[in-house]
Structure 1
Amino acid sequence: MVFRSKIDVFYVNFMLIVVLIIALGSLFPLFIEEVRNEWIAVLILVSIFIVLVSFILWTNFTVKYIFYRDYLFIKGGPFKSRIPYKNITEVSRTTAIFTGHRIMSSRDGLEIFNKTTFLGSIKISPRNKREFIIELKKRCPNIKIRE
């Protein structure tokens, strides 16, 4: 079973600000007279901007959570986490979007405590949290769920 990540307006606005900051940083030299006339410099700066923004958008807007037979697979761009169900101990709601090990794009998320991931937990934001928790409970009957 596959769950996609929920994306809220706050996160989209935050990502727009990040893209604007990257644009200012990487394209600012184009406004300097000497650089504007150097087509190779323009090509390099625009390429850097496109690569950085593409990577950020890929990692943040292609997040999905897949239930396999023995483990929960969490994927966001090139980043992947495989959490065996036997290692999951607890699930709780979270709104902390900027802290900890997270693969989420919404302030309305879940924190999965386990024995596998860095820092002992991972923050996710499935679109349908209720169905996600029901599916997780089927695969981890001893899991503690904090509301």
Structure 2
Amino acid sequence: MKFRSKIDRFFISVIFISLLLISIVFLIPLILTGRPSILDIIVVVGLYAFTAGMILWTGFFQHYELCQDYLYIKGGPFSSRIFYGDLTRVRATRDISTGYRVLSSRDALEIYYRTGSWGSVKISPRDKELFLSELDKRCSHLFIQNSPQIDSK
């Protein structure tokens, strides 16, 4: 079962500001150089398009898929496969500034697991209750931590 990421206004604001800053960093020097060569223009515009594209792809094209044996997390060019046996607990979180995260909302879940260098991943499925219900069906040993936003087992 596939779940899309929830997108909130805060995240859209962060993406917009990032794109604005990247535009300034790439395009202002090009304008201030006077008469840039065609090669300069092609290189700068190409790098700008690549950078902006990566931000948009990573930010807006995220999904989480509950497969037969594992949770598949995809955000732009990045993906993770976490086997259900490695999962330990889930809790609601609004801290999206630290750790490994593939999300686009402050209304998020932090999933802890035994493998991986970070030990947890933060995601933001649109329908958290359905996501948790389906995850519980596949991973009955998982501890869903009490939280005002999540019903516990």
TM-score range, shorter chain: over 0.9
Partner of 2:27: 27
Task: Report if aligned partners of 1:101, 1:118 keep a CA contact under 8 Å in 2.
Answer: no
Identity %: 45
Q: Deviation at 1:88?
A: 0.5
Q: CA RMSD in A?
A: 1.1
SS at match of 1:7: coil
Q: Deviation at 1:38?
A: 1.9
Matches within 5 A, 1:98-137: 98-137=97-136
- Cα offsets for 1:82-133 (capped at 9, x unmatched): 0000111100001111111000110000000001232210000000000000
Higher helix proportion: 1
Separation (CA, whole Å) in 2 of partners of 1:115 and 1:52: 33
TM-score, normalisation: structure 1: 0.95
Structure 1: gaps (5+ residues): none
The one-letter amino acid of 1:59's match is T
Separation (CA, whole Å) in 2 of partners of 1:110 and 1:4: 14
Task: Report if aligned partners of 1:26, 1:45 keep a CA contact under 8 Å in 2.
Answer: yes
Separation (CA, whole Å) in 2 of partners of 1:37 and 1:142: 62
Flag as ranges the 4+ runs of structure 1 deviating above 6 A.
Answer: none
Structure 2: gaps (5+ residues): 148-153
SS at match of 1:80: strand
Separation (CA, whole Å) in 1 of partners of 2:64 and 2:58: 13
Q: Report the number of matched residues.
A: 146
